Copies of this chain bind each other. A is one copy, B any other.
Amino acid sequence: MNFDLSDDQRALVDTVERFARSAAAKRQSTSPVGAASEDAVLRWEQMVELGVAALLIGENNGGVGLGAAEAVLVSEALGQSLAQEPFVTAGVLAPKLLELSTSDGLREKYLRGVAEGRVRIALASDESVHEFDLFSVSTRAEVQNDRIVVTGRKELVVDGAMATHFAITARDANGLNLFLVAAVQPGVMVTPVRGLDGGWMARIELECVEAEGPLFREAAGLDGLECAVDHATVAICGEALGLMNRMIALTASYLQTRHQFGKAIGTFQALQHRFAEMVTLAEQARSGTLMAAAALASEDAEVRKADVSAAKSLVGRNGRAVLEGAIQLHGGIGITDEYELSRYIRRMIEIEKTWGDVSYHEARFARVTDSR
Contacts and interface: CB of A to CB of B under 8 A. Distances in A.
Contacts of A249: none
Interface string A258-275: 000000000011100100
A270 B269 CA distance: 6
A270 B273 CA distance: 8
Nearest to A268: B269
Nearest to A269: B269
A273 B328 CA distance: 15
Contacts of A273: 270
A361 to B, nearest CB: 23
Contacts of A270: 269-270, 273
Interface in A230-246: none
Nearest to A271: B269
Interface residues of A, number: 4
Interface in A241-296: 268-270, 273
A273 B270 CA distance: 8
Nearest to A270: B269
A245 to B, nearest CB: 25
A267 to B, nearest CB: 10
A269 B268 CA distance: 7
Contacts of A269: 268-270
A268 B269 CA distance: 7
A28 B2 CA distance: 57
Nearest to A273: B270
A133 to B, nearest CB: 25
Nearest to A272: B270
Interface string A177-216: 0000000000000000000000000000000000000000
A270 B268 CA distance: 9
A269 B269 CA distance: 6
A238 B268 CA distance: 37
A25 to B, nearest CB: 41
A265 to B, nearest CB: 12
A322 to B, nearest CB: 19
Q: Which of A268, A269, A273 has the most CB of B within 10 A?
A: A269
A273 B273 CA distance: 11
Contacts of A268: 269
A268 to B, nearest CB: 6
A278 to B, nearest CB: 15
A279 to B, nearest CB: 16
A268 B268 CA distance: 9
A268 B273 CA distance: 12
A269 B274 CA distance: 12
A68 to B, nearest CB: 39
A155 to B, nearest CB: 29
A271 to B, nearest CB: 9
A261 to B, nearest CB: 12
A14 B273 CA distance: 43
Interface string A105-123: 0000000000000000000
Nearest to A267: B269
A268 B270 CA distance: 9
A275 to B, nearest CB: 12
- The 5 A-B residue pairs with the shortest CB-CB distance in the complex, in nearest-first order: A269-B269, A269-B270, A270-B273, A270-B270, A268-B269
5 contacts: A268-B269, A269-B269, A269-B270, A270-B270, A270-B273
